[in-house]
Structure formats: structure tokens, C-alpha cells
Amino acid sequence: MWPVIVTPYNLPPSMCMKEEYLFLTLMIPGRKNPKGKIDVFLQPLINELKMLWDTGVTTYDVSKSQNFQMKAALMWTINDFPAYGMLLGWSTAGRLACPYCMEQTIAKRLENGQKTTFFGCHRQFLAMDHPFRRNKMNFTKNEQEHAPPPKILSGDQVWERVSKIPKVPESELKRSADYGEKHHWSKQNIFWDLPYWKTNLIRHNLDVMHIEKNVFDNVFNTVMDIKEKTKDNVKARKDMSIICRRPELELFDLGNGKFKKPKALCTLSAAQRRAVCEWILQLKLPAVCEALYCYGYASKKSLFTWVLHSKMRGLKISKATRNEESRRLHFHGEIASYCI
Amino acid sequence: MKSHDGYIFMERLLPIAFSSLPEKVWNPLVELSHFFRDLCSTTLNVAHLEQMEINMPIILCKLERIFRSGFFDSMEHLPIHLALEAKLGGHVHYRWMYPFER
């Protein structure tokens, strides 16, 4: 099931996005992901939105006790990253995943990891005179970066490209020859039927919730060195030796196809991992961190159950070293004052 | 782990939990944590968002010096555009998926 929800924005902030004002408009049935064909299901909604923009509907105004013609516009869509690709018509998987950088990205595919990496893409965004741009040691080896950041396309520029691409039932989502190399377009999405769509500054939102969670998961799994989830595995080390110059992290070949992975600076030792877990367990979340749960979206016990899971994964709890304890207490004081 | 636990950990607990890391690693992680905390704040200031837009590439470059290339999938790249979206679209609370995922 894929619900499509519409919510009005001209409400006071305290009422906006609350359950009472979320209107479930469409239910897309089926177990399978509709992918690009989602536009077919969206047709009735878009037709109504067009009507709401062009003619509007007669609505009763309680404050003035009279009818008026209400008009409405679609501001943007809120969706996760895979759905972003489905709605935009630009696939958000693979090398050209970023819908802002589009084909100007310099993302690469990793030989060993068989994944896309955005490593090396971020120096472009720095100021032209930033010393990181000239650094040949710590980033991609022997390479300096002189290119300006990718230009973000305006609504008109995007429309110029999209207007030549067929819409969904006609396009049949066939990929042209240069798909994946020069572009990721597969269709002209149905939102372009709205006359004002190209004047919107943001058409689809990047979902901060999912981005933050995924970034956190990656950081946490790598720093805690959680088996099979860490991004610092043998394949990553092999790719590293191709791209970067970090002799202290090179794999040792032990023969018989096995490798020894030297400990990286960014991972915690077993004792430190235990200390982190123990610290999370002793946090009195419901009492001490009530203020931290100011948005109230999480179950307060889920952090505990999650730590217990990591206990089962072999991260056993023991006493923290005194040194770390005092360091943490110092920061704890800081956070408490922040909350108040 | 649920999304919101990640949110709490990322913005509040991470600087303390990982304080035993060396400064070179800990600093950019804390800066990342502060970036998300500022982005999700209930008051946004355009000048501050512009500064965040400048800072984010520096934070990511610092992370590039520490982590392996496999770490940087599309999700690690996207924060670079989040400050711009917040500048154009306003508070993230009205543009994220928490109300729908409950």
C-alpha cells in the first residue's frame, strides 16, 4: 500500500502537519513498488489540483458568513529518497543519484565495493582558495581540485530538458542509449502538467528524517565497528588503496586469501565500545532526557532495546575507564545546561 | 533502531558517546552533529543557514580525510544541499516525513 497524503499549509504552525489536517487522498494498492508508473495513479489528484488552480471551488468562509472561490497550489512533495526518484522521473540510484548535482557530479563506482561513492565530490563545493583543494595527500591521491561546484538548475532549465521527454503511458519508461552516462531521466513526471510547477523553488523535498538516520547509522556502525555493517570492510580498504594514499591502513596479506585489517583511527577499541554501550544503558532516558524527547516521536524504551540488541551482538557491558568517565561527565554537564 | 533514536543520538548523544575518539575524528563528527541540530532547530536564521551551507562541504572534506571511500554513499552527500533547501523552504519540521511515518 502506498498512501498519498495532502495537507494544507496555510494553518498556524501548531496546527500544520497535525494528524487532523492530513488528508488521505489516494491509496495506491499492491505489494510491488509502482516505480515510474506512479503517475498513472496520481492522475485524478493532478486533475483536481489543476482545477483548484484554474477555477477553484466555492467554499464557505465562516468568519465573513459568505461563500468565496478557494484556489490552491501544490507547493512540493515530501517523500523518501527512492520515492524522490519515482516522482521526479530522475532515478536516484547509481552514479547520478544526486538530483541537485545531476549529471555534473563526479561520483565514481568502486571497483571492489561495487557501489557508488561520492568520495572526492565535496572539495568542489569549497571556496576556490581553500587549502583542501590543493591537498594531494589526504584526499584522492596526487589530485588537486580546481573545478567549481555543480550548477543547480532553475525550474525553467529543468523544464527545458524535461519537456522533450515523453510522459508516462506513452513513454513506457524505456531508457535511451545515453541513460546512466549523461542523464537519469526516464519520464516527464505528471507534476509538470501543473502550470505553476516550474516556478516552484523546491519541487521535491530531500527528507531530513531519512538522511539523518542513514548518516547516523553509517557513522555509528563504522565507529563502533559493527560486523557486516561497518563501511570500513576489507573491500573498502582495497578500494582505498586505489584511490587514496594511506599506507598505515593498507591490508596485510596473510596468505590463503585472508587479510589483516589494521585498526583505523575512526574506530573504537573493544574496551571503548563497551564503555559506550554501558554509558547508553546507564542513561536514565525517561527522567534525565525528557527534554531531549521534545518532539515525542520515539518510544523511550527503544534506545534501551537497541542497546540490548547490540549486547547480543557481542558488545558486552563492563566498567568504563576512569579517564573517559571524567571526560564524559564534563560534556554531560554541558548538555544538561543546553536543555534547560 | 528507529529513525527518531538516530535523531536523538545524532544531535545530542553522539558528541558524548564518541568522546574517546581522537580529536581529529571527533571534531568533524561533532560538527556534523551540530549541523543537524541547527538544521532541525525551531528558529532558522538566513545568515546562519548561509554559513551552514559554507561549512557543510568543509565538514564532509574533513570526514573524507578520516573515512574510507565506501562510507560516502548518496546519503552522506545529500546534507550538502540541505541548508539550501531550508533557506528556500523553511523549517524542516514541515517538510520531513515524521508526521507520516508514525
Q: Is pLDDT above 80 for A289? A: no
CA atoms within 13 A on the CB side of A229: 15
Do the chains contact at B70 and A293, CB–CB below 8 Å?
no
**Structure confidence at residue A174 as a pLDDT band (50, 70, 90):** low
State mean pLDDT over A18-34: 89
B51 touches chain A (CB under 8 A): no
Q: Which residues of A touch B85 (CB under 8 A)?
A: 202, 205-206
Last residue of a domain, one of A202, A235, A261: A202
A80 with A160, same domain?
A: yes
Domain count, chain A: 2
> Based on the domain organization, do A183 and A88 belong to the same domain?
yes
First to last CA, chain A: 42
Chain A CB contacts of B98 below 8 Å: 209, 295, 297
Tens digits of residue pLDDT in A77-94? 999 999 999 999 999 998
Q: How far apart are CA B30 and CA A144, in angstroms?
A: 27
B42 touches chain A (CB under 8 A): no
Give the C-alpha separation, A109 to B61, whole Å: 19
Residue A278 lies in a domain: yes
User: Which cell numbers hold the place of A40?
Assistant: 498513472
Q: Give mean pLDDT, residues A112-139.
A: 93
Of the candidates A125, A211, A222, which has its C-beta nearest B67's C-beta? A222
Q: Determine the pLDDT at residue A119.
A: 93
Considering the domain architecture, whether residues A196 and A274 belong to the same structural domain is answered as no
Cβ contact B78–A98 (<8 Å): yes
pLDDT score of A306: 53
Q: Do B80 and A122 touch (CB under 8 A)?
A: yes
Are the C-beta atoms of B1 and A221 separated by less than 8 Å? no
Q: Among the listed ranges A67-71, A99-103, A216-220, A254-258, which one has the minimum average pLDDT value?
A: A254-258
pLDDT in tens, chain B (102 residues): 567 778 888 888 899 989 999 999 999 999 999 999 999 999 999 999 999 999 999 999 999 999 999 999 999 999 999 999 999 999 999 999 988 876
- The tens digit of pLDDT for each residue in A134-161 reads 999 999 999 999 999 999 999 999 999 9
Residues A314 and A188 in one domain: no
| Percentage with pLDDT > 70 across chain A | 82
Burial pattern B53-68, b for ≥16 Cβ within 10 A else e, equals beebbbbbbbbbbbbb
Q: Give the whole-angstrom CA distance, residue B79 versus residue B36.
A: 9
Return the SS3 of B55.
helix
On whether any CB of chain B is under 8 Å from the CB of A336, the answer is no
Looking up cell 523553488 gives A201
Residues A167 and A37 both lie in one domain: yes
| Lowest mean pLDDT, pick from A178-192, A305-319, B4-18 | A305-319
Contact call for residues B83 and B56 (beta carbons, < 8 A): yes
Task: Give A 154-193 residues with CB within 8 A of chain B.
Answer: none
Does residue A27 fall inside a structural domain? yes
State which of A173, A202, A231 marks the end of a domain.
A202
CA distance A65 to chain B (A): 31
Residue A75 in any domain: the answer is yes
- Domain holding A281, by residue range, is 269-340
Chain A partners within 8 Å of B66 (Cβ): 265-266
The DSSP H or E segment spanning A272 is: helix A270-282
- Window B:59-98, CB contacts with A under 8 Å: 60-61, 64-82, 84-85, 88-89, 92-98
Q: Which residue has the cell 547520478?
A: A96
Predicted pLDDT of residue B102: 62
For chain B, the structural domain boundaries read: 3-101
- CB A310 within 8 Å of CB B51: no
Q: Is A35 left (phi over 0), alpha (psi -120 to 50) or beta?
A: left
The answer on A177 and A282 residing in a single domain is no
DSSP string, B13-34: IHHHHTTTS-HHHHHHHHHHHH
